[in-house]
Amino acid sequence: MKYFFSALFICTASLVSAQDKFGDVFNQINTDVQQNSKAYQTLKYETETIGHRLTGSPNGAKAEQYAYDLLKSYGCEVKFQPFEVESWSRKTILVEVGANANNLAKMKAVTLAHSPVQADVSGEIVDAGNGLEADYQANPEKFKNKIALIYLGVLPGSPAGTKSLHRSEKTAIATKYGAKGVIIINTVKNGVLLTGTASVTGKLIPIPAVCIGLEDGMALKEKLKSESQMAHLAMTNFSGIIKARNVVATFKGTDLPKEKIVVGGHLDSWDLATGAIDNGIGSFAIMDMARSFKKLNLKTKRTVEFVLFMGEEQGLLGSKAYIAQARKDKNLSQVKFMLNYDMTNDPKGFSTSRSEMKELFTTWGADIVKIDTGFKNLFNAGAGLHSDHQPFMLEGIPTGGGFGGKLPNNSGPFYHSDGDSFKLVDEQELKNTVRYSAMLTFALANTATIPVGVQGEEELRAFLESQNLKEPLSIAGEWRWK
């Protein structure tokens, strides 16, 4: 009996392999992208002529229109998906710190998104370490009506295995323990300031939250060991209903048009710089995948949607709007897989939330290696949060994307900062993202059978727990199980 099942498995694998041989098309995609890619030059144009792509801003609207027009120029069937949401943008900020409340020194800082529209608070600074629940539990009363000083990542010297949380989750914990303000220390040298949302819900938080540089922050931590320190946080911000538009290019499937593969990434950026890395390299790669599909007249069994989401930075607003619209249109069940490209660069393999995809992904990867040995056919299975795959994953939809690449030109430290500019982009590495990802998209949309389906509620709950996502989802109010 054991030998029978072994033989059956071999036959089944051979059948899948025979059905899923896409080497000829992979070669076509490779040649086209290497010779004709427009990703680098269009991203350069956008960063130089439009600039940042903050959702709800005039620049954001210009970026939406540019993406729409670009996809139209490639011959794609393209549409806007408009949505209205409460959005946020910064206005003024003043951060002052010192041992004497009457003699404070100004400190360079940036407001974290979804801080209050107006705030003016003063108080004693209390060191909250890594800002995790455990950092408060030893003396919860210590933080009430104080300003919490929190390290963004995991402090050097922390116990082995210490997990970090997102800045928004750390802010939520500080609020829970009664802090009146939050100062987060960035982890990057040379005073780089990092913005990003401090809200787990995408709504305004009740206390002001700011980011300061690594050197200033660590010096402040050291001073707190010998004498108390005071802080004054004053700010004004905008919050209100704004209009934004996802941009969707659709390639209708031939055999299974009501089964859909979504290839998405966020077009928007923060306003401190032009967002070339976060997420220009992802969103402009997606547009170039669509260009290549159209130029090569590629046909797929399943429908493929290339989606540029707005509002990711302010709380996954565009991808949540996509899910809400699909639910309203009663076609959410059509989405069978979501590939997300958020700061993906020069991938060396593929990742997915579902380990059952390993055989297919590595089979396709082996064909890519025959074209380019720079692709290492790495595979990773696992799930995380805080990008546009999340709303899909919370509907039980399998997700994935590129894996194993490195950001170009040491650009990681400049994410969400004023240093995120086009000079960091590497043209060939961007082409690599386009060609490998277009190959994966084509194969996934054409494979005879996708071996994973949409998870039901209990299966999804168990999966999220296995991925250690219950705690952050609970903090965010998105854990819907008792």
**What pLDDT is recorded for position 21?**
81
**What pLDDT is recorded for position 20?**
65
Mean per-residue pLDDT, 269-287:
97
pLDDT, one tens digit per residue, over 48-62 is: 999 999 999 999 999
**What pLDDT is recorded for position 85?**
86
163's CB contacts (< 8 A; 6+ apart) are: 132, 154, 468
pLDDT surpassing 50 at residue 383? yes
pLDDT surpassing 70 at residue 7? no
Domains of the chain plus CATH, in order, are: 23-86+241-475 (3.40.630.10), 87-237 (3.50.30.30)
User: CA dist 435 to 130, 240, 430, Å?
Assistant: 40, 40, 9
From the number of C-beta atoms within 10 Å of its C-beta (0-12, 13-18, 19+), residue 105 rates as exposed
CA–CA separation, 174 and 179 (whole Å): 6
Name the amino acid, one letter, at 274: T
- Tally the C-alpha atoms within 13 A of residue 354's C-alpha that lie toward its C-beta: 22
Mean per-residue pLDDT, 431-441:
98
pLDDT surpassing 90 at residue 119? yes
Percent pLDDT > 90 in the chain is 94
Q: What is the mean pLDDT of the chain?
A: 95
pLDDT, one tens digit per residue, over 390-405 is: 999 999 999 999 999 9
Quick check: 168 and 194 in contact, CB under 8 A? Answer: no
User: CA dist 277 to 122, 131, 190, 240, 344, Å?
Assistant: 36, 27, 19, 27, 9
Mean per-residue pLDDT, 118-124:
98
Largest Cα span, the chain: 84
CA–CA separation, 369 and 235 (whole Å): 53
CA–CA separation, 50 and 407 (whole Å): 23
- Of the pLDDT bands very low, low, confident and very high (cuts 50, 70, 90), residue 9 is very low
pLDDT, one tens digit per residue, over 146-172 is: 999 999 999 999 999 999 999 999 999
pLDDT, one tens digit per residue, over 85-105 is: 888 999 999 999 999 989 999
- Tally the C-alpha atoms within 13 A of residue 152's C-alpha that lie toward its C-beta: 23
pLDDT surpassing 60 at residue 25? yes
Helix 2-19 crosses helix 358-371 at what angle (to 10 degrees)?
50
Mean per-residue pLDDT, 303-309:
99
pLDDT surpassing 50 at residue 241? yes
Beta bridge mates, 197: 113
Helix 23-36 crosses helix 358-371 at what angle (to 10 degrees)?
60
Quick check: 29 and 439 in contact, CB under 8 A? Answer: yes
pLDDT surpassing 60 at residue 18? no
**What pLDDT is recorded for position 87?**
85
CA–CA separation, 51 and 54 (whole Å): 9
pLDDT surpassing 80 at residue 15? no
**What is the chain's Cα-based Rg?**
23
